[in-house]
Amino acid sequence: MSSIVVVGSMAFDTIETPFGKQDKILGGSANYFSLSASQFVPVKCVSVVGQDFPKEHLDLLKSRNIDLAGVRHGDGDTFHWSGRYGYDLNEAQTLGTELNVFETFEPELPESYRDAKYVFLGNIAPPLQMKVLEQVRKPQFVALDSMNFWIEGQRDALIKAISKCNAVVINEGEVRQLTEKYNMVDAAQVIRKWGPQILVVKRGEYGAVLFDHGDPFCVPGLPLAEVKDPTGAGDTFAGGFVGFLASQANTSLSRELLRRAVVYGSVLASFTVQDFGFGELLKLSREKIEERYRRFVELTRFTRVA
Amino acid sequence: MSSIVVVGSMAFDTIETPFGKQDKILGGSANYFSLSASQFVPVKCVSVVGQDFPKEHLDLLKSRNIDLAGVRHGDGDTFHWSGRYGYDLNEAQTLGTELNVFETFEPELPESYRDAKYVFLGNIAPPLQMKVLEQVRKPQFVALDSMNFWIEGQRDALIKAISKCNAVVINEGEVRQLTEKYNMVDAAQVIRKWGPQILVVKRGEYGAVLFDHGDPFCVPGLPLAEVKDPTGAGDTFAGGFVGFLASQANTSLSRELLRRAVVYGSVLASFTVQDFGFGELLKLSREKIEERYRRFVELTRFTRVA
């Protein structure tokens, strides 16, 4: 069993959905990813928090197999994101981004992180993603997430970071923006030319698509009677995806394994959307995860001979 | 093997997509449905065409196991729809609707149609859908499609028609508009209270969801490198769905059968979007259909034990 180094944000989120409003609750890509991936393997977290970040939450993360030696305590306030969703929870409208301690963040990995075999470069500035990756000696599997903000503002740096990765895990709209291809089959080819042999397209409630060297694989989202807040679902997905792969580190990275990893990603994400913040994620167990995996099996089951 | 009675439009379509423009090509829900369903069972078509409708096309339909005894030849021009799609092919913008001979259409079923066991009420005025249904003596399975135009203008008549059906097969946006529920799980419950025990939600490139008395079933759309025109995909889907069910008429209507029918619907629709009009649909064979069914098997295959 391998461990994963993740870099991403630890944040406060102010979120408005048709189902309620939450003011400055805990969030951030590193948080969502870590809480998800640590269901499978130990996680080593790289991030920065402000003076106002609650110590109890850090203690909670530590108690869950999440190493915080790489989390710096900056002089100032924690990163704060505000956003709003309409009934179409697939798309967030960003209302405000206060970078705060992230403005001057320089990631430096503790020695104990540098032999990690699995790396997840969460959604932060591409040069910071590169800086983290350069500090890991011999990574076996590197996955990257990004967003419109970086695609627009730092496209070249982002493509450079992407070229060092095995997998890109991003939203459908961002795939289009990044590759300038509308069709996903075309987009996957563009990304494969840049370097990564794996593209995972996140489609919100419509699930995810895996493009590798063979035929694509689709897993739908689980239709849920109650969906409250999609914030963090993408990072939770990535946590399940990379976490499962890292837990199978002894086996070779087969197409079968990648497909199961995409299903685990979808399983984990399906919990996150059921409540605001980490609500459901904190109540998780491997048993609940396996139970929901079986719901995905049932959701997609049909007679496989014509 | 049972036959299906379908009522719907025979039309000229003028279509603009980012991949080309086609002027007054053959279209209409009854055409797409019939060409699709007739791959499985004989189809009996109820519709009306104008003086300008090409006889060669009617001959072609007849040669493909499609009975046109119920198609009237009206005094005037054929129904003409004009629409435009952006890159997001999931949503059409209607530019014009010339009802023409449809304005005064009164469906009257030939005696040879009235013992049909399977009925598909394509997207036309709800009172006409009812009129067709009333003329079938003992239907075993009735499915209905509709659209925003009728939901807005003839809601009560539509719900009345729906209450007589076994299955509703409509687009996601129209499910929401019809049921006034955003969440599909809630929407399915509303429709089940009206009567139909089956709801099939069509989601364009994201595939389809089947709600019946048990857990939902999702099938994704097939990622295709070339998608030219989604017009008729929904009717083609319905043709595959009802056509397959009718071809299995001797077996009881199990959940397994419904799921396979949804996959066949998706298989057939995946051909239609690859070209304008009936381009791909006319080249179909049972062999090509089964081959593509296997692609859906591969598309959704993952290790089913955790």
How many CA atoms within 13 Å lie on the side-chain side of B150? Answer: 22
Q: CB-side exposure of A277: number of CA atoms within 13 Å?
A: 18
Q: For position B304, what pLDDT does the model report?
A: 82
Beta bridge partners of B69: none
- How far, CA to CA in Å, does B240 sit from each of A59, B32, B243, B261? 56, 10, 5, 7
Residues B120-179: tens digit of each pLDDT: 999 999 999 999 999 999 999 999 999 998 999 999 999 999 999 999 999 999 999 999
Partner-chain contact B299 A217, CB within 8 Å = yes
CB B260 within 8 A of CB B211: no
Q: Are strands A20-27 and A11-17 parallel, antiparallel or unpaired?
A: antiparallel
| CB contact (8 A) between residue B260 and residue A203 | no
Query: Cβ separation of B185 and A263 shorter than 8 Å?
Result: no
- Residues whose CB falls within 8 Å of the CB of residue B248, separated by 6 or more in sequence, listed in order: B257
pLDDT over 90, % of chain A: 91
pLDDT tens for A31-63 read: 999 999 999 999 999 999 999 999 999 999 999
Confidence of residue A1 (pLDDT cuts 50, 70, 90): low
- Residue B306: per-residue pLDDT: 58
Q: How confident is the model at residue A207 (pLDDT cuts 50, 70, 90)?
A: very high
Closest CA to A53 of A81, A98, A12, A23: A12
Residue B299 to residue B306: CA distance in whole angstroms? 19
Helix (H) / strand (E) element for B56: namely helix B55-62
The answer to whether A217 contacts B301, with C-beta atoms less than 8 Å apart, is yes
pTM: 0.95
Nearest neighbour of A302 by CB, restricted to B87, B263, B290: B263
Nearest to B217 among A183, A185, A299 (CB): A299
For residue B86, the number of C-alpha atoms closer than 13 Å in the C-beta half-sphere is 3
Render pLDDT for B226-265 as a digit per residue (tens, 0 to 9). Answer: 999 999 999 999 999 999 999 998 778 899 999 999 999 9
Residues in A touching B256 (Cβ below 8 Å): 302-303
Spans of all domains in chain A: 4-299
CATH class of A4-299: alpha beta
Distance CA B137, CA A174 (A): 53
Residue with the two structure tokens 């179409």: A88
Q: Which amino acid is residue A73, in one-letter code?
A: H
Report helix, strand or coil for B296. Answer: helix
Q: What is the 3-state secondary structure (H, E, C) of A132-196?
A: HHHCCCCCCEEEECCCHHHHHHCHHHHHHHHHCCCEEEEEHHHHHHHHCCCCHHHHHHHHHHHCC
C-beta separation of B231 from B92 below 8 A:
yes
Question: Closest to A184 (Cβ–Cβ): which among B183, B185, B223?
Answer: B223
